[in-house]
Chains A and B, each alone.
Chain A
Amino acid sequence: DGGITQSPKYLFRKEGQNVTLSCEQNLNHDAMYWYRQDPGQGLRLIYYSQIVNDFQKGDIAEGYSVSREKKESFPLTVTSAQKNPTAFYLCASSLGGNQPQHFGDGTRLSIL
Chain B
Amino acid sequence: GENVGLHLPTLSVQEGDNSIINCAYSNSASDYFIWYKQESGKGPQFIIDIRSNMDKRQGQRVTVLLNKTVKHLSLQIAATQPGDSAVYFCAENWGRNAGNMLTFGGGTRLMVKP
Residues of A participating in the B interface, judged by any CB pair closer than 8 Å: 4, 6, 31, 37, 39-45, 48, 50, 56, 88, 90, 92, 94, 96-106, 108
| Interface residue B6 (Cβ < 8 Å from any Cβ of A) | yes
Size category of the B interface is 20 to 34
4 smallest CB-CB distances across A and B, nearest first, come from A103-B43, A42-B104, A88-B3, A40-B5
Closest B residue to A45 by beta carbon equals B101
Residues of B participating in the A interface, judged by any CB pair closer than 8 Å: 2-8, 31-32, 34, 36, 41-46, 49, 51, 89, 93, 97, 99-102, 104-107
State whether A98 touches B100 (Cβ < 8 A): yes
Q: Across the interface, which residues of B come within 8 angstroms of A97, CB to CB? A: 100
Given A98-B51, A106-B43: A40 and B8 within 8 A (CB)? yes
Q: Across the interface, which residues of B come within 8 angstroms of A104, CB to CB? A: 43
Q: Across the interface, which residues of A come within 8 angstroms of B3, CB to CB? A: 37, 39, 88, 106, 108
The majority secondary structure among interface residues of chain A is: strand
State whether B102 touches A101 (Cβ < 8 A): yes
Q: Which of B7, B44, B46 contacts A43 (CB 8 A)?
A: B44
State whether B34 touches A100 (Cβ < 8 A): yes
Q: A39-B7, A40-B5, A56-B97 are in contact. List 16 more A-B contacts (CB 8 A).
A: A39-B2, A39-B3, A39-B6, A42-B107, A45-B101, A56-B99, A90-B43, A98-B93, A101-B46, A101-B100, A101-B102, A103-B43, A105-B41, A106-B41, A108-B2, A108-B3
State whether B42 touches A39 (Cβ < 8 A): no
Q: Give the complex CA separation of A44 and B102 in angstroms.
A: 9
